[in-house]
Structure formats: structure tokens, C-alpha cells
Chain A
Amino acid sequence: MKFFDHHIHMSARTTDDYEAMANENIVAVIEPAFWLGQPRTHVGTFEDYYLSLVGWERFRARQFGIAHFCVLGLNPKEANNRPLAKEVLELLPIYLEKDGVVGVGEIGLDDHTPEEEKAFEEQLELAKTHNLPVIVHTPHRDKIAGTRRSIEIVKASGIGVERVIIDHNIEDTIALALDAGCWAGHTIYPSTKMDEYRMAKLVKQYGSERITINSSADWGVSDPLKVPKTARVMLEEGIPEETVQKIVWDNPVAFFSQSGRLDMEMIAERPRVDQGRLYEGNSVLRGQTPKIEPE
């Protein structure tokens, strides 16, 4: 079975993770831009971050046979610094046009402030202008109300609801996302958000239509193998393989191909592993023999 983790912050992960993910047949990933654990203070650090997502991280993933795409945006936490947010939003169009950028995200609400709502609305406009789908982050605190409000903002923006994935759903929010016509993403975390068994239950109840799972693995306690692990639990729980494959592969591919920058053919085969390549002065290897697969 092939896996597509459509929400994972690989910049925060190690090469061991890439290797383990490739061994589990994770063939493609999407890295949404988010925050770094503390607020940034300059627009230039955002720009270098975006450059790393379209440059270094894409290269690093390819060295392990994983196709790397990204979605770019201003996360809600940092949207609260309005002067900085304005600068970042002015910068974004340059990077939203790059090949391999398959969406706007992750955007949405965190503290539910007017500043967050404004940046959310402005980025939905950017998504419309650049014809990109959107990953909406739903808040950890006051999640149900935040999800409701996020959906209201999405609807008011005029973007097609089918071009929006409401992410980090739980039992109390999945129906809100699906009933609105959006896609419903689920983050499987080691201890919070959602676990494998709860997810299997949800799939039994809601099926696989417009439903996806991801690991959202980052620099916190998280697990980059949660997508294959959850697939295994789903199969053990008697969910048909076809349904599982749809959730872990077909659905994210279908959703993000709405960008026009990703199609099934591009990721039909995992990228040829070529660790002999170097990037900007740095090999990910430190004296090991490069693993190079025959062409």
C-alpha cells in the first residue's frame, strides 16, 4: 500500500525519519508552512523559510525517495502580529506561483482574534487568485466553535468548499466539515488530537468520501509513521483495503491535484533515490556510501 502524508513538517525531522518513512512506503508528502514554536520577528525569516520549503527540503526528501510538495501561508498564531502579517502577505504571491507549491496553508484560527480572521480571509483571497486549494488548521482550544467559525469564513470568501480541507478534526467536528462540503483531514498524534483506533471508528461511521489522515509530525512529540500505522489498525479493524487506500492515497492526491501542479503521474513511482546529490554545500550524508538506485 502506498501512503501520502499530506500534512507533515519535515524541516523539523531527521534523516532517520525520512528513511523510516520510505521503508514504510510513504511515497509523497506535503509540508505546510507553519510556525517554529516561537513567533518570528522579521519578514525575511519567513522568506528564507519559504525558500527552504521549495528548495532544501524538497531535495532532502528526494534523497530518500520521497516526493516533497508544500503549501505556503501565514499561520494563525503569527497572524496576530499585524504589521509583520501584512509584510508576509505581500510576499506570499511570489512563492505561491512556484512549481511544487500545491496549496495555501496552514491558515485559520488559533486564539480566535480579529487579526487572525483578517489574515485568514486575505489568504483565502490569495488562494482564489492563485487558483490553489487550502489547508485550514482548526484550533486546539475551543475547537468546535473555531471549526464552525472557520467554515463560516470559508463560505463567506466565495472559494469553492470542495477546494478546502478542514484539518485536525475530531469526533465533534468531522460532520461540520463534511456537511459543509469541505474535505475532512485528521491528524493522528501519539497522545492528543486523534488516535488510530478512534480514527478507525470514524471511518466505520463516515466512510472514506473526502476523508484523509495525516501525522502533522513536527518538532513536538509526534510520529511521522502515523499514516501507515493508522492504515494497519484500520485493516485490523476490518475496514476494506480499498477504503483504506482511498483515505491514505487517492483522496489526498485528488484534493491537491486541484492545484494543477500535482497529478497521479508525478507520484506514480517514488523518486529514484540518489544520495549522491548535494544541496547548497550540504550532503545529508556524513561519510556513508551514497545509496544510488539504477535508472
Chain B
Amino acid sequence: MTNTTNEKLFEILYDKIVSISPGFGQLPWLDRKDEFSTTEFRLEFSRLRRKLAPGENLQNGEAPLNFNKNEIHVLTQNGLPSANQRPLHILARIACLLRAAQLLGEEKTPRFVHELFTRGDTPEKCAILCALPLFSCPQDYHDTAVLATRGYIREVFESIALQNPYPAKYFGDPVFNQMLLKAFFLDVPLADVIGLDRRINDELHRMAADFIKERTAAGRALPKDIDLILHKEIL
């Protein structure tokens, strides 16, 4: 991902967010580099949802942004699919992360993002995971992405495993396979794993077949879409 693309993505997100939540544009470091500090960013990142949705109904921040077809195309092509299915607070945090990455530079950002992730609450973690494929050098965020697959909180796991191009592009087979197996346990839809068809491998076939045996012996139901990763002869 080049800086130009990063800038373009940021602009698309920024314009749309400000159009429904003008307070977002008042974050000083969004347009003034000298105002940026990682300490202040951490706090802003945590309080962002309340800033976006001030007033009586604190449940706000769930609103979709309604991107047009062209914007969706650009976002999807550059690593952020399903933008119209993601709430305002997630997209706003993604925009903040893109800006922070521009200001911090390629070298410092991965470590900072990893720290934000480990110290984040669930919605913060989800936003960070959606942003990983959008950074320059996404492979530098491998540890953060893998850590997310090791948790089971459903929203966090889904944010890395589903509708996210990161795993198929950057995970090796062992991590990718474990992620898929975990997806069975969580009963999340495998059809939403981007690039799944390209990443099927023999070890995954074996793991899925063993999983079926285990589940059948326990008299438990099988995941609906397990056939997506089975050998045709097993089906």
C-alpha cells in the first residue's frame, strides 16, 4: 500500500465521517502534524466513540456511512471491504489509524499499533484489525493479526477472520488453518473468509476431516459450511 493510496482512503473516510459527525474534523492532529502525540492519540482513540456521538444517546456511533458505489469500489480494492456494513465508530477509528500511520511513519507504526491493540477494548481491537491491510507494509503487523486469531471474543475474531483480506495474504498455512478451525468452533460463516478458495491445503483437509469425526462421535451438529474446505471425495 503506497502513501498515496493511504491518503486517498483516508480522504474518502474522513469526508464521509465529517458529513455526519462534524466533531470528528476538530481533532487537531488530523490536519496539523505538530499536534500529534502518541500519548494523546491513545486517549482520543478510546474516547472517540463518545466524541462522535455526543448527547443523550450514547449508543450512537452505530450508524452506517452509506458510501456510494465508486467509493465502495476504491475501499474494497484497497483492503476495506463491506464498508457499508461497518458502523461509524469503527470507520472513524480506522481513519484515525491511517492518519497516525502517515504521521508516525512506517518504522514506528507497527509497534504503536500493536500496543494499541493489546491495550484496547473490544471495539478498539476490531477497528485496528480492519485497518491492518490498509497500512503500508501490512506484513509488519503480522504479530498483531495472529494475536487476534488466538482470542475467541467473537467480534474480535470476526474482525480479522471475516471480510478482511489480511489472513489470506499474509498468514502462513499453520496460522491460517488454525484460524479456520477456530471459525468452526465459533460457528462464523466461512463463506466470509476472503481468499479461502486460494488457501485450501492438504493439512486443512485433514484437520476438517478429523473435526467431523470428533463432532460426529460427540453427537454434535456440524458447521453448515464445512464442505467449503473438504476434499470432494469426503463429501
Contacts and interface: CB of A to CB of B under 8 A. Distances in A.
A265 B46 CA distance: 22
B151 interface: yes
B42 A99 contact: no
B151 A99 contact: no
B186 interface: yes
B154 interface: yes
Interface string B194-209: 0000000000000000
| Chief secondary structure at chain A's binding surface | loop
B73 interface: no
A51 B150 CA distance: 17
A278 B153 contact: yes
A279 B185 CA distance: 12
Interface residues of B, number: 22
Contacts of A54: 121
Contacts of A282: 152
A89 to B, nearest CB: 15
A37 interface: no
A266 B61 CA distance: 14
A98 B59 contact: no
B56 A276 contact: no
B224 interface: no
A279 B46 contact: no
Contacts of B151: 279-281
B89 to A, nearest CB: 9
A97 B43 CA distance: 6
A263 B56 contact: yes
Contact of B152 (A51, A100, A280): A280
A112 B182 CA distance: 51
Interface string B44-57: 00110110000011
A266 B119 CA distance: 24
Given A94-B46, A97-B43, A279 B121 contact: no
Task: Bin the interface of chain A by size.
Answer: 20 to 34
Contacts of B50: 99, 260-261
Contact of B186 (A94, A260, A278): A278
Interface in B138-161: 150-154
Interface in A232-246: none
B31 interface: no
A40 B21 CA distance: 43
A282 B56 CA distance: 35
A276 B46 contact: no
A281 to B, nearest CB: 4
B64 interface: no
Interface string A260-295: 111101100000000011111111000000000000
B154 A93 contact: no
A174 B186 CA distance: 50
Given A279-B152, A281-B151, A281-B152, A99 B56 contact: no
Interface string B64-97: 0000000000000000000000000000000000
B43 A276 contact: no
B121 A280 contact: no
23 contacts: A55-B121, A55-B122, A55-B153, A59-B122, A59-B153, A94-B42, A94-B43, A97-B42, A98-B121, A99-B50, A99-B121, A262-B58, A263-B57, A265-B57, A265-B58, A277-B153, A278-B153, A278-B154, A278-B185, A279-B151, A279-B153, A280-B153, A281-B151
Given A59-B122, A99-B121, A260-B50, 19 more contacts: A51-B119, A55-B122, A55-B153, A94-B42, A94-B119, A97-B43, A262-B58, A265-B57, A277-B153, A277-B154, A278-B152, A278-B153, A278-B154, A278-B185, A278-B186, A279-B154, A281-B151, A281-B152, A283-B152
Interface of B: 42-43, 46-47, 49-50, 56-59, 119, 121-123, 150-154, 185-187
